[in-house]
Amino acid sequence: MGTSKKREFVRTLFGFSEVADRWGLSVDSVRRAADRGDLKTVNIQGRRMVPLSEIQRAEQYGIGSGRKRQQQFESPQLAEAR
């Protein structure tokens, strides 16, 4: 009859706790970065979410500017890739 195609689901939005776990930071640290404007977020039904593209940008270039950027974090996923 018909062929069933399995759809792949790619997440594009993540909560602060998921970002904090990924980066090894506290949820408050991620929230403060978003409050400062160092980490862009979107509002989905009253919940602030971090787009995947912003997570990737922050992992590549760091968050903050100047002196803050020198204290750049490194995600475990990036460390494993090296």
Task: Give the architecture-level CATH label for domain 13-81.
Answer: Orthogonal Bundle (1.10)
Q: What is the pLDDT of residue 70?
A: 46
0.75 surpassed by pTM: no
Domain parsing of the chain, residue ranges: 13-81
Q: What is the pLDDT of residue 24?
A: 94
Low-confidence ranges of the chain (pLDDT < 70): 1-3, 65-82
Q: What is the pLDDT of residue 77?
A: 56
Sequence-distant contacts of 69-74: CB under 8 A, at least 24 apart: 73/23, 73/24, 73/25
Question: Which of 4, 6, 7, 30 minimizes the C-alpha distance to 17?
Answer: 30
